[in-house]
């Protein structure tokens, strides 16, 4: 039995960090969005008890250090159901280590796919619980859509969907370690924070421009050295007509929202000439489950 599921990328339309928990994790307040840009995840089950993983990118791990393999292991372990041989092939299109939740989206896709293949009938909520065992962004990636994410990222409230728009995502050549960037945040010293309530209102009134001007990520204020190239990408996006531009998550990808397709295409072509990992996509309004 085989199934093919899509693992859609996520963007943060805003990202605020409220406090550091005793656990070391941080309490977040983020507005999340899903994009059409996705990885294809092909999953098949047969008799046996191993998880076998392959991808189209030779440098990605295919053992259980890959979060997609870990998701399959977790699925059987947590549900306590008889194991199967699970064969997963991931065709990656989402940039890796980029702040668009590529790994988390893959794990969420494995949960959705195995839930269907195994006929386990898990609710979205039950899959989100499994997801949190693997990472803070996985619960959001189960259903996607426009949502407020609080707590570690697992306390999710659906929001009015972002109006359909054109999005250019650009990843510079370096990567940023999530834990390093969190380590640079001192919650008592954050001077500028996003107007999350204002963004939620702008979503309610379906006003793309008002959402775009409220895009803000507190992580941008602790970027240093070559990481500041993110600002050059944001400036290029705004110069090309983006209504707003921001770094997603812990970066380093920056993205711009456009209401005009030609302007978005122009930005995409200009940036792609410098940064090969540049993508033109749209937001995806439908929930995945
Ligand atoms: O949950 P995840 O594995 O994606 O988190 C990676 C790292 O990011 C954590 O080890 C932690 O350092 C940091 N993190 C955090 N607070 C969150 C989410 C992640 O401090 N809410």
Digit-coded pLDDT (tens) for 51-92: 999 999 999 999 999 999 999 999 999 999 999 999 999 999
- What is the rounded CA–CA span in Å between residue 30 and residue 11? 10
Contacts of 72 (CB under 8 A, 6+ apart): 51, 86, 88, 110, 114
Distance 136 CA to ligand 1 centre (A): 6
Q: Taking a C-beta distance cutoff of 8 angstroms, is the pair 172, 272 a contact?
A: no
Residue nearest to atom 14 of ligand 1 (CA): 25
Rounded to the nearest angstrom, the distance between the alpha carbon of 138 and the centre of ligand 1 is 12
Q: Of 108, 96, 169, 158, whose CA–CA distance to 137 is shortest?
A: 108
- Whole-model pTM: value is 0.98
Point out the ligand 1 atom lying closest to the alpha carbon of residue 28: 21
Using the CB atoms, write b or e for 56-80: b if 16+ within 10 Å.
Answer: eeeebebeeebbbbbbbebbbeeee
Q: What is the pLDDT along the chain (289 residues), one digit of tens a residue?
A: 999 999 999 999 999 999 999 999 999 999 999 999 999 999 999 999 999 999 999 999 999 999 999 999 999 999 999 999 999 999 999 999 999 999 999 999 999 999 999 999 999 999 999 999 999 999 999 999 999 999 999 999 999 999 999 999 999 999 999 999 999 999 999 999 999 999 999 999 999 999 999 999 999 999 999 999 999 999 999 999 999 999 999 999 999 999 999 999 999 999 999 999 999 999 999 999 9
pLDDT digits (tens, 9 = 90+) for 215-239: 999 999 999 999 999 999 999 999 9
Distance of CA 33 to the CA centre of its chain: 8
135, 136, 151, best to mutate for ligand 1 pocket (most atoms within 8 Å of CB): 136
User: Does residue 10 carry a catalytic annotation?
Assistant: yes
Contact of 172 with 230, CB cutoff 8 Å:
yes
How far, in Å, from the CA of 100 to the mean position of ligand 1? 14
In the prediction, which pLDDT does 46 show? 97
CB of 187 closer than 8 Å to CB of 219: no
Q: What is the pLDDT of residue 250?
A: 98
Q: Tell me which residue has its CA closest to atom 3 in ligand 1.
A: 135
């Amino acid at each position: 039995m085989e199934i093919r599921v899509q693992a859609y990328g996520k963007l943060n339309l805003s990202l605020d960090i409220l406090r550091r928990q005793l656990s070391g994790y941080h309490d977040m307040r983020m507005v999340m969005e899903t994009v059409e840009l996705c990885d294809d995840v092909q999953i098949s089950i047969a008799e046996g008890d191993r998880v076998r993983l392959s991808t189209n990118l030779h440098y990605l791990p295919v053992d259980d250090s890959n979060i997609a393999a870990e998701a399959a292991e977790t699925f059987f372990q947590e549900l306590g159901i008889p194991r199967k041989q699970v064969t997963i092939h991931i065709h990656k299109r989402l940039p890796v280590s980029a702040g668009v939740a590529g790994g988390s989206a893959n794990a969420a896709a494995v949960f959705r796919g195995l839930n269907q293949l195994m006929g386990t009938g898990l609710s979205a909520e039950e899959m989100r619980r499994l997801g949190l065992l693997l990472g803070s962004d996985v619960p959001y990636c189960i259903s996607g859509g426009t949502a407020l994410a609080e707590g570690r990222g697992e306390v999710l409230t659906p929001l009015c969907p972002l109006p359909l728009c054109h999005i250019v995502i650009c990843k510079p050549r370096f990567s940023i370690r999530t834990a390093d960037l969190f380590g640079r945040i001192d919650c008592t010293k954050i001077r500028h924070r996003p107007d999350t309530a204002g963004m939620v209102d702008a979503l309610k009134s379906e006003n793309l421009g008002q959402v775009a001007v409220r895009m803000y990520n507190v992580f941008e204020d602790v970027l240093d050295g070559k990481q500041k190239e993110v600002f050059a990408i944001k400036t290029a996006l705004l110069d090309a007509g983006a209504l707003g531009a921001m770094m997603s998550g812990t970066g380093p990808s920056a993205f711009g929202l456009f209401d005009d397709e030609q302007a978005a295409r122009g930005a995409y072509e200009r940036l792609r000439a410098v940064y090969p990992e540049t993508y033109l996509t749209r937001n995806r309004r439908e929930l995945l489950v």
